[in-house]
Amino acid sequence: SQQGEEDPQALSIQEGENATMNCSYKTSINNLQWYRQNSGRGLVHLILIRSNEREKHSGRLRVTLDTSKKSSSLLITASRAADTASYFCATDANNQGGKLIFGQGTELSVKP
């Protein structure tokens, strides 16, 4: 079974709007990571949030983590057409030796 599940599966917004993606997981974690994947490319790391952190920012990105609900969200503010990509959450579960388990991803389309 998947450790990480994301919703929505697809999201289409206009430039300038905010985009929120959610990730839920099942077991206790060491950290949760968000990655971005442009079509036909590899993944690029965005933000890592540790289990003892609740919120992290990086530029226009804000990640929250609620370990009691086993969920995380990624907010992209003031979106741009260049933000169009797939976004994946990945969990580093405890006692898994640093292996990541990826969610199915959210496909974000930002229309100019």
- The residues binding another protein (CB under 8 A) are 2, 4, 30-31, 33, 35, 40-45, 48, 50, 86, 88, 92, 97-105, 107
- Whose Cβ is closer to another protein: residue 83's or residue 92's? 92
In whole angstroms, how close is the CB of 81 to another protein at the nearest point? 20
In whole angstroms, how close is the CB of 59 to another protein at the nearest point? 16
Pairing of strands 100-102, 10-14: unpaired
- Whose Cβ is closer to another protein: residue 9's or residue 18's? 9
Preceding omega of 8 cis (within 30 degrees of 0): yes
Cα(98)–Cα(54) distance, integer angstroms? 20
- Contact at 8 Å (CB) between 57 and 46? no
- Whose Cβ is closer to another protein: residue 52's or residue 68's? 52
In whole angstroms, how close is the CB of 62 to another protein at the nearest point? 18
- Contact at 8 Å (CB) between 100 and 92? yes
